[in-house]
Amino acid sequence: MTLPEESGAQPSAEAILSPYDGHVVGHMPVAGADDVESALARAAETFPRMKRLPRFVRADILDRAAQIIEGRREEIARLIAGEAGKPLYDARGEVSRSLFNLRNAAREARAFAGHEVPLDVDSAVFEYQTASADGSALDLSNADLDTLSKLGRRVGLARRYPIGPILAITPFNFPLNLVLHKVAPAIAVGNTVVLKPAPQTPLTSLLLAEVFAQAGLPDGALTVVHCSVPLAERMVKDERIAMVTFTGSAKVGWHIKEQAGRKKVSLELGGNCIGVQRILVHEQVYDRFEAELVRRVSACKVGDPLEEGVDVGPVIDENSARRIESWINEAVAGGARVLAGGRRHGAVIEPTVLTDTTPDMKVECEEIFGPVVTLSKVGDMDEAVRRAADSRYGLQGGYFTNDLARAFRALEDWDVGGLMINDVPIYRIDSMPFGGWKDSGLGREGTRYAMESMTDIKFLVVNYG
């Protein structure tokens, strides 16, 4: 396992600042072109060793990494809160999810396997195989059992093998757990990883690399590269990379797919439903719902993410906060009303509830990525599903109903990667398949599903008859 500063000339270090008050959280080495080349070369050179490691060795590395993180829970949670601006309770929850993620990957590393493909399922195959040059073939319809029992003497085995170095490009909103959604499955199946974390939150990735080194991961199996966009694009195009796995915005994700060439690509992109952005409520309960929602949102404590009891901290930077503020103002200018919040303080957006919005407003049709929800009244649930599904995104949705038939019909009509019945759309257990339809992505994450995408099949047929 290598870090950029270990290769070639010493790179410069960038100060990583708190999005809340701008204090220096830490320093991150900045990778140059030589560092990027070194990372790619080492990932390619180390892959033959990684793919031959026994399953239990890979699993033990993942388990040891979990043990190390368990012992450093509070330190890691505070680092996440510091560089991502995430409230402490939320950062602690992310550490807990990461422990599950690692331990589940260790379990899957021990159990992950291919399967047998039956080859004796059709008589026509055997008639073809026994045919002579003149076209005559064994008449299986009149063959005795002894003859038939001698025919099925082939076995087919579909075995899965790691595909090679993985380029993992990760976002800022979950700087530990979403990194592990890529790194842990890759290690579990025997791939190497070049990790390019979000520029705003690289320190957690740097710490994770240290954890894996301490856990016994082979040198060169995981390299963290904090680099510019042009250098990241160079890695995306590099033929030594077997797969690019990206989580982030739709615009960047689909650009990566265009640049990746023939390599595998997995995209976990945005949406306007995963983080509870649009709320559609039946008119019969709307007034009560609105009053309770506004009461609870207004009661949220806003402030320093490192302070106990804070519910909402800053967004990732002040530019993002200004964008969110402009979307709110644009909606209000178009006729929307602010029921709660709506103001910006530096990089902090007050938890905001908007109503009287329309589907064409950015606060409804684009991913706002901030503490803002829109609240709309609908006459019936079929209308609600139609309106929810009327989007270029399709990551996850939440549908509250006591009618199971309606729930299944909603799943047919609403093209989302996951539909949560009587739960919020952000619900996620890290072992479940996660990904989107339409502009929300390509492929699925979740430990075993990511492991499948990071491997490919070699098929073996043995004729032993």
From the list 83, 94, 273, 325, the catalytic residue is 273
Q: Is 268 a catalytic residue?
A: yes
443: left (phi over 0), alpha (psi -120 to 50) or beta: left
C-alpha to C-alpha distance for 366 and 364, rounded to whole angstroms: 6
Q: Answer yes or no: are the C-beta atoms of 277 and 327 closer than 8 Å.
A: no
C-alpha to C-alpha distance for 382 and 379, rounded to whole angstroms: 9
Instruction: Classify residue 80 by burial, with Cβ atoms within 10 Å: 0-12, 13-18, 19+.
Output: buried
Residues 6+ apart with CB under 8 A from 144: none
Residue 52 tokens read as 């031959």
Phi, psi of 460 (to 5 degrees): -115, 130
Radius of gyration of the chain (CA): 26
From the list 83, 94, 108, 268, the catalytic residue is 268
Listed in sequence order, the DSSP H helices in 281-317 are: 286-298
Q: Is 325 a catalytic residue?
A: no
In angstroms, the Cα distances linking 4 to 10, 172, 199, 223, 224 are 8, 20, 14, 7, 7
Give the residue carrying structure tokens 């592990």: 180
Neighbours of 308 (CB within 10 A): 9
Q: Which residues carry out catalysis?
A: 268, 273
